[in-house]
């Protein structure tokens, strides 16, 4: 995974976890992800991106991620979004707001049907 892909993946995870306030469990998951990917700088970058304008962070990230995901094949886009969905399940729940945000992204990335199917399974 390139540094740019790590940035995109961590921004995706961060923006979903920050959707209604980052809690301790979510921070732990983000830290574990950064460690497993050797992506501490990319995590720092993603958190700074969100902090620049917390109120509009999702829409800003949505635009940036839309561009970043265009060059990736459908399976990889689905993998990233499904990984974030599964990380939310790991913390014990997925809020309606988080689910809707991920569904919006899946529609933007032309993987809505595939995400819904993978969630059902």
Residue 2 C-alpha from the chain's centroid: 16
| Better pLDDT: 37 or 20 | 37
Average pLDDT over residues 11-25: 90
pLDDT at 113: 96
Residues 6 or more apart in contact with residue 101 via CB below 8 angstroms: 15, 16, 19, 58
Q: Residue 98's domain spans which residues?
A: 3-120
Domain total of the chain: 1
pTM of the model: 0.91
pLDDT at 20: 78
pLDDT at 71: 84
Average pLDDT over residues 29-35: 95
The mean predicted confidence, pLDDT, of the chain is 92
């Amino acid at each position: 995974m390139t540094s740019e892909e790590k940035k995109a993946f961590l921004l995706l995870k961060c923006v979903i976890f920050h959707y209604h306030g980052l809690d301790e469990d979510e921070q732990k998951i983000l830290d574990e992800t950064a460690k497993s990917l050797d992506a501490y700088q990319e995590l720092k970058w993603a958190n700074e991106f969100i902090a620049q304008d917390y109120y509009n962070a999702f829409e800003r990230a949505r635009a940036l991620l839309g561009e970043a995901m265009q060059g990736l094949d459908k399976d990889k886009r689905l993998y990233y979004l499904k990984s974030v969905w599964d990380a939310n399940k790991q913390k014990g729940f997925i809020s309606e707001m988080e689910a809707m945000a991920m569904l919006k992204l899946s529609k933007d990335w032309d993987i809505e049907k595939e995400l819904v199917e993978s969630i059902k399974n």
